[in-house]
Structure formats: structure tokens, C-alpha cells
Amino acid sequence: MALGRSGGPALKMTVEPRSTKSGVALVAINQCQCVVEFAVKAKTPAGEKLGRGTVAPRSEQVLLDVAAAEGPAEIRYEYGYVVGEPGAQHRPSRPYRAPFALAQRFEVTQAPPDAVTHVGPSSQSAVDIAMPVGTAIHAAREGVVINVAARHFKTGLSLQSMDEANFVQILHDDGTHAIYAHLQLDTVRVKIGQRVARGEYIANSGNTGFRRGRTCTSWCCATSACAASRSRSRSPDPAGSARRRGAGRH
């Protein structure tokens, strides 16, 4: 899920290749206001290499150095990340409240242990709630807003749609976090770094991102980790910067 400020440029939680004097460094970039744990696996001419690191908020860290090969060559790498402190334990001080007004009632269309579309580690604890577009969404638990996306308007079942959901991500005091997703365009009422109270109005429900069917749904995912993975390729050949830029896809 792509990260972004409401109406602003996207934040990064990614791994990027950067040229060095000896080859290529795979650098973890964490623009989030929380700790993020990264892992990377690279296939190089010298074999498979692994790197891992816990990256502090708003910082960068080299995960892996790949030596330059003799002549043109390419490395391929995959990476994943987990948001929050490693080893965080789910310890809410009181039960979660419903993520909508207390006087309302809506149907839960998907929840653990059912896994129709919630099959990955980032969504296995998610709850889908069917509600009309424009329904007020309230924080189920207090915390600090760490990620926001608010300018998406598309919906569908393509892979591209997975990164086009509006959402609010809130870090809880015990190191776990919640994601409120599929939100309506331009309705997010909170910003990154803001502390929100339990029950605070944060956005409206919508129908953005990866969605199945016509029912408008907003879901709340409360987990101790949110994982994502990507794959990239990059040439470590240091013969020239133009050549390296042309070979890399990042």
C-alpha cells in the first residue's frame, strides 16, 4: 500500500539501489514516523546475498553492499518491511470501539478466520464492513497518525488498484497499529504526526483501491506488523552513471 500525505507527495518505505565506488548499495529508506524493519534478498553474479536492518524513523540505512562484477551484469533483488517495533505485543488498555458512530449498525462482510481476499500478512487481521460511501469513520483506538493517503479515486481488481486506496494508519502506544482503508476521496481529517483520541472522527468510508463487488466497504486492520514486498533489478556495472540509470528499474 502506497504511503502519502493528504494532498502531498508520497512518503517512502522502500529499498533503492545506489551506486558506490565498489558497486551498488541497497539502501532502506524510511520516511515514516515509526521504526520499520527491512529485509532484502539479492541475486548477484556471486550468488544470493541477504541483508536486514531496523531503520529509525525518517532515516536511511544500507542493508547490503554488492560488489561490482567484471563487465556488464545485473542484480535482482526483493525486499520486504514490517512497520513498528520488532517484538511489539498487542496490549490494548481497553476494548476497541466500533470504527463508526455508536448509534449505527453495519454488516461485517469479511473477518478472521475467513480469508477471501485477506490472504497476505498485511491483511490477515483485517475486517471488512459494508457501509454507504460517506459514512463517518472513527478511530477504534487512540494513537499517532503515521501514514495517510487521501487523493485516490479509482477502484478495481487490478494489481495497480492495490496501491490506490485512501487510508489512515495509526500507531498505538504498544507498538501495534491500525489501518482504515478504502476511504472516500479528500475526506481524511487527520495529518501525519497528529495524535488522535479513541472515537475521533478521522475520515469517511469510500470505495477506493482493490475492491471486489459493488458494496462500499471500509476496513480496519489492527495488527502488530504490516508487511509489504517488492522486487527490482539493477546493474552493478560501474562503467558509467548513464548506463546504471538505464539499467535500473526503481
Secondary structure E strands in the chain: 13-19, 23-30, 36-44, 47-55, 59-67, 75-83, 107-110, 126-130, 136-138, 143-149, 155-156, 166-171, 177-183, 195-196, 201-204, 209-210, 217-223, 227-234
Tell me: pLDDT of 46 over 90.
no
The confidence score (pLDDT) of residue 65 equals: 93
Q: Mean pLDDT over residues 90-101, rounded?
A: 89
State the DSSP code for 248: -
Record the cell numbers describing residue 87, joined without a space: 517484538
The confidence score (pLDDT) of residue 236 equals: 35
The confidence score (pLDDT) of residue 1 equals: 40
The confidence score (pLDDT) of residue 156 equals: 56
Tell me: pLDDT of 118 over 80.
no
Q: Mean pLDDT over residues 50-75, rounded?
A: 88
The confidence score (pLDDT) of residue 160 equals: 58
The confidence score (pLDDT) of residue 7 equals: 44
The confidence score (pLDDT) of residue 198 equals: 95
H helical segments located in 30-107:
none
Do the beta carbons of residue 139 and residue 117 sit within 8 Å?
no
Tell me: pLDDT of 243 over 70.
no
The confidence score (pLDDT) of residue 159 equals: 57
Higher pLDDT, residue 234 or 208? 208
Tell me: pLDDT of 33 over 70.
yes
Closest CA to 36 of 123, 147, 180: 147
Cα 66 from Cα 61, distance rounded (Å): 15
Tell me: pLDDT of 223 over 50.
no
List of domains in the chain:
13-86+228-247 (2.60.40.10), 107-224 (2.70.70.10)
Q: Mean pLDDT over residues 132-138, rounded?
A: 91
Mean pLDDT score of the chain: 76
Instruction: Please report, rounded to a whole number, the percentage of residues in the chain having pLDDT higher than 70.
Output: 70
The confidence score (pLDDT) of residue 215 equals: 45
Q: What are phi and psi of 161, to 5 degrees?
A: -65, -20
Q: What confidence tens digit (pLDDT) does each residue in 162-190 have?
A: 566 788 989 888 888 888 988 988 999 99
Bridge partners for 126 per DSSP? 221
Tell me: pLDDT of 63 over 50.
yes
